[in-house]
């Protein structure tokens, strides 16, 4: 059955810990996959959320001791969590985080990860443009340095990521499931290059040259509600959808609770699944 792309679910979440946030994103994907297998037509989902503490997330394929400085994180009380998606380490602090969970068909069909990422990049760019940011979507795959591929996410921008004057504004990663996908990403309001560098074993000067926060890009600090409204408008314009604000279902909440327990105790089991970007 073809998914209904005219109406999207909008989930606006308050701050949660890292394991809960990653578990919810994965639970939304798992439940959608199940509904698709049953022949249902689920709506795509846009989830906008926050973190209760500054938290480092690492890509599913990154060894933790290489992705960040675990000792520095412990000293500063920074939790570390692994994402169900690929990509590189990110410090989530003073940001808006987004997640899209959608059937891998219709508007998101075609060339798999590439096609879906391009659509979502267009929607994100449109929304950030409405705020006044002079944004663009990367078409190639530039790398800031030879070390960047194994370092901090914001050291370089990959294809279909958002930049301002060549500096990365939003980092995203995607996970492909059975007939559906999850893409989520970090949009920093203020990007603290010194703190990112200290926790992620990176170079502060490189980060300052290659990354930017939304407040710097706009020349003012937007409110979280303003960013939420702009992103919602960007998705509406690009995908021609309307939004219905709907919280987690009982099934999604139950699945997320189970996954959060697994992620905290057995990360390898949580990370087992389909190929990711």
Active-site residue set: 153
Which residues does residue 67 pair with via DSSP β-bridges, in sequence order? none
Distances, alpha carbon 116 to alpha carbons 93, 101, 102, 122, 144, in Å: 26, 11, 9, 10, 24
What angle is formed at CA 236 by the lines to CA 235 and CA 240, rounded to 5 degrees?
115
In 3-state terms, what secondary structure has residue 14?
strand
Phi, psi of 162 (to 5 degrees): -95, 130
Query: What H or E segment, with its residue span, contains residue 137?
Result: strand 136-137
Place of tokens 């939004």: 243
Q: What is the Cα–Cα distance from 177 to 8, expressed in whole angstroms? A: 19
**Do the beta carbons of residue 155 and residue 167 sit within 8 Å?**
no
> Following CA atoms 60, 117, 130, 53 in sequence, which dihedral angle do they give, to the nearest 10 degrees?
-10
Residue partners of 65: CB distance under 8 A and separation at least 6: none
């Amino acid at each position: 059955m073809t998914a209904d792309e005219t109406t999207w679910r909008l989930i606006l979440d308050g701050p949660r810990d890292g394991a809960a946030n990653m578990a919810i994103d994965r639970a939304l994907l798992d439940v959608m996959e199940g509904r698709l297998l049953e022949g249902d037509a689920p709506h795509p989902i846009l989830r906008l959320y926050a973190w209760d503490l500054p938290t480092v997330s690492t890509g599913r394929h990154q060894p933790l001791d290489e992705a960040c400085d675990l000792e520095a994180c412990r000293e500063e009380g920074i939790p570390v969590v692994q994402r169900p998606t690929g990509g590189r380490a990110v410090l989530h602090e003073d940001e808006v985080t987004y997640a899209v969970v959608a059937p891998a068909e219709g508007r998101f069909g075609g060339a798999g990860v590439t096609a879906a990422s391009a659509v979502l990049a267009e929607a994100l760019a449109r929304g950030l443009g409405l705020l006044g940011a002079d944004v663009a979507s990367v078409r190639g795959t530039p790398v800031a340095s030879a070390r960047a591929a194994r370092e901090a996410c914001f050291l370089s921008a990959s294809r279909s990521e958002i930049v301002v004057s060549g500096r990365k504004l939003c980092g995203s990663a995607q996970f492909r499931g059975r007939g559906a996908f999850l893409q989520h990403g970090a949009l920093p309001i203020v990007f603290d290059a010194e703190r990112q560098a200290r926790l992620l074993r990176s170079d502060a000067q490189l980060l300052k040259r290659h990354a930017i926060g939304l407040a710097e890009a706009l020349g003012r600090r937007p409110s979280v509600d303003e960013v939420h409204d702009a992103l919602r408008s960007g998705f509406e314009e690009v995908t021609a959808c309307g939004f219905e604000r709907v919280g987690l279902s009982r099934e999604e909440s139950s699945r997320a609770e189970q996954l959060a327990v697994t992620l905290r105790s057995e990360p390898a089991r949580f990370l087992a699944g389909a190929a990711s970007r």
